[in-house]
Structures are given as C-alpha cells and as structure tokens.
Amino acid sequence: MTRKLNLRLDLQVVVIASVFSLALCAQRADAASVSPHDLKAKMSYCEVCHGSSGRGFVGYFPMPRLAGQQVEYIENQLKGFIERKRNNTASPEKTNVMFNVGHKLTPEMIEALADQFHALDPKPVGGAPKALVPEGKKIFETGIPGAKVPPCASCHGPDAKGQGAIPRLAGQIYPYVVSQLTNWASERAETNSKIMAPIAHSLTKSQIEAVAAYVSYLN
C-alpha cells in the first residue's frame, strides 16, 4: 500500500514538473515571435552605448558588458528599469536613461535581446591595473573571513559566469564593477540585492578595485 502511494506521489511530481517545464518553454518561445530584422536593429541600437558585440565601453562613464550575461539577469534588470525598481543615473544629465530605453521594449523583445546578448562571447576589453589581479583573485576565491565577506565564487561560480539571476562578472568593465560595488544601493532590481549589499559595504576601496581588476580579465 505504501509503495503504491509513493509511486502515485512520484507520478504526480513528474506530471507537475512536466507542466511547469512546458509552461516555461511556452513562455520563452515568445522570443521567437520577434523578427530577425527588428532584433538586429535593436541590437545595433544597444551596441551604440554597450559597445560592439556588447563588450562594454569605457568612455565619459562606463557602460557595462552585456555579452555572455545570464538571460534571467538581463531580463530582471530591464524589467527593473521599466518598473523603476532600479535607477540608471550614470549619464551627465542624471536621467534614468535605461527607463527611457526599456519602457519601449515589448516582453518578447526583452527575451530576444537577453538570448542574443547571452550568446555573444567577445574578448574582454581589459585595461584594469594588472598589479591588482593577484589580490582580486584571492578575494574572489577565498573571500575575506575577517570582514565576513564570502568568496565571490560561491555565488558567481569559479569561472565568474554566474547562473540564472546571479550575474556574470567575467570580462565585465573594470570601472563599472568598481562603481557598482562602491555605490551599491539596496533599491536594485535583482532579488539577491539584499544579500549583496552588506558584502559590498564591507569591502574597502582597494579590495573593490582588486576584485574588479581580476574579473575584468576573465574570459
């Protein structure tokens, strides 16, 4: 009797998992409804700021690398800008540039852009102080126990490529990482922001620069 009950429960779990899997596939299939022409045009528009192939761009202010970024993370950030849960005030005019860009995107286009940027894999821009890399590697891999800072690798992965809602750091623009960790705000779009906030606030300026230098050279 117990064996039959367990078998029935197992079958129910399989059915429920299959339903969720099919629903997820159907949801992601929306991206296929975007025409190649429209997607190419929008990608070109994004690359004006984020650099060729989404490598990122270091100019008057740093524009983050999107190439290879996790799909879920990109979608979350765009939705966060649209819903004003995250602000982008890096521009000289202190305007929320990404809200102006994002609120014009359809859900289907957001999915298509996230997929497209995730598939890109250009070489990192580099340019960070190489002397800081060894210390940054140490912090990334072992953390700072005395400051209760866990290894970055424990969440972002040993290759710093992230997973799901956890962003890829590999190849990210050095000044962008420095800026984000230095000015970390709790009102960000990702749900793991409250986890990241105390970590960022526990890092010194030199430690932030070291970590940023290390991840900026990772492929």
Phi and psi torsions of 129, nearest 5° = -65, 115
What's the pLDDT score for residue 21?
42
Q: For residue 17, count CB atoms less than 10 angstroms from its CB and return exposed for 0-12, middle for 13-18, buried for 19 or more.
A: exposed
What's the pLDDT score for residue 89?
59
What's the pLDDT score for residue 77?
92
Contact in structure between 148 and 202 (CB atoms under 8 Å): yes
pLDDT tens digit sequence for 144-197: 999 999 999 999 999 999 999 999 999 999 999 999 999 887 556 565 678 899
Q: What is the pTM of this model?
A: 0.82
What's the pLDDT score for residue 30?
73
How many CA atoms does the CB half-sphere of 154 hold within 13 Å?
A: 11
What's the pLDDT score for residue 193?
75
What's the pLDDT score for residue 65?
98
Please state, in angstroms and rounded to a whole number, the distance separating the CA atoms of residues 96 and 91. Answer: 8
Q: Quick one: which H or E segment has residue 44?
A: helix 36-50
Which stretches in the chain have pLDDT values below 50? 1-26, 92
